Amino acid sequence: MWSDHMKERSPMVQRQLPKVGELLELMQFKKPELDARKRRLDAALTIADLRTIAKRRTPKAAFDYTDGAAEGELSLDRARRAFEDVEFHPDILRPAADVDTSCQILGGPSALPFGIAPTGFTRLMQTEGETAGASAAAAAGIPFTLSTLGTTSIEGVKAANPVGRNWFQLYVMKDRSISYGLVERAAKAGFDTLQFTVDTPIAGARLRDKRNGFSIPPQLTVGTIVNAIPRPWWWIDFLTTPKLEFASLSTTGGTVGELLNAAMDPTISYDDLDVIRGMWPGKIVVKGVQNVTDAARLVDLGVDGIVLSNHGGRQLDRAPIPFHLLPKVVREVGKDATVMVDTGIMNGADIVASIALGAKFTLIGRAYLYGLMAGGRQGVDRTIAILRSEIERTMTLLGVSSLDELEPRHVTQLTRLVPVADQAVDARV
């Protein structure tokens, strides 16, 4: 009956019973991975996959601090949507078998066109914190940036990344002597670039943190205890490792907003930039630029670079989208100026699109932290590996062998947000 059925289905094909030897060849079982961390990280194929793992393994308050943004989180959503709305224009019959992802940035090399952005409270997400980020950056040959609000000291990051490139992100605080001291320590430790941050005169309204009662250090409540039950590993790490505190600041008690408002100074000005430039021996970059006029003024003043950024959507909600601003700024300041971009990067294709439109470099924040929360140092390695693979694949499919070959013609920025044509309507009409 079986053979009759086969004849009816395929009269022109010769049929036979399966051979045992051929079946055995098909039955190749993969050796099980006994290392649970490696197993879950190997299964992560995208940054979104790492985010899913991170959310499962991290208490809600710590995860939401990383994942969230200000108020309605519109700035972050729009920044990510801007990258999703990229249309690429590949060239055909252009061999790009050996893709070179390396670049020169701010007087030194980077093996990839991105570095790790400054992030605060990093050991809260996973106990290895900045040490994991700095050592992973060193292994990958990319820069690592330590935040003023970091939970590992300047000297600790230098020890984790002794020969690689370390950058320091500076907040100018009400007590200027604190900021000046940090500048001196970073210079002494051999950090080669300072990111002078200008978009945080006060804290943004991070509503997830307020709703979660998020504070530094974390406070044990009924809610946090219930949330911790399925995540005992996080609490074991937290309770059996050195106390979580700022490595550069003495005050640690309170909500994130309270801490930022107590430390930051809304009177920060160009005078402060002049003072810091006079103190800093290396490259200086202004981070948090959000319009063309400011970008042009800073380049005219001779800063070594600017970072188009809205602080990951964590400060002013409805702020400009850095990726949309990028081509306008590059046209104004010239393609030779060092313009960098962050906010919303979740894929190596986002980085390729940014370089094509004139960015010299990019910075990743949440993508790095998702990897950290998913698996410590190995998770950060996985983040970098995923982005590297996506960059190389996108470049190959575009038909470009090096970053220098990427041009604006390779990218179209599609947009769902179109400015009103004429906003100067007479109210009397």
* Confidence at 1, pLDDT banded by 50, 70, 90: low
> pTM for this one?
0.90
Q: Do 171 and 273 touch, CB atoms closer than 8 A?
A: no
pLDDT above 90 (res 317): yes
The DSSP code sequence of 210-278 is: HHHT-EES----HHHHHHHTT-HHHHHHHHHSS----SS-S---EEHHHHHHHHB-TT--HHHHHHHHH
Block residue for tokens 């160009």:
270
Amino acid 227: pLDDT: 74
Instruction: Provide the mean pLDDT of the chain.
Output: 89
Most confident of the following: 14-18, 61-65, 322-326: 322-326
State the Cα–Cα distance between residues 90 and 109, nearest whole angstrom. Answer: 27
The pLDDT of 395-424, averaged and rounded, is 87
CA angle (67, 70, 72) in 5-degree steps: 95
Pairing of strands 254-255, 283-289: unpaired
pLDDT of residue 209: 86
Residue 6 pLDDT > 60, yes or no? no
* Per-residue pLDDT reduced to its tens digit, 179-208: 999 999 999 999 999 999 999 888 888 899
Average pLDDT estimate for 90-102:
90
**Catalytic residue of the set 5, 89, 311, 324:** 311
The structural architecture, per CATH, of the domain 36-413 is Alpha-Beta Barrel (3.20)
5 is catalytic: no
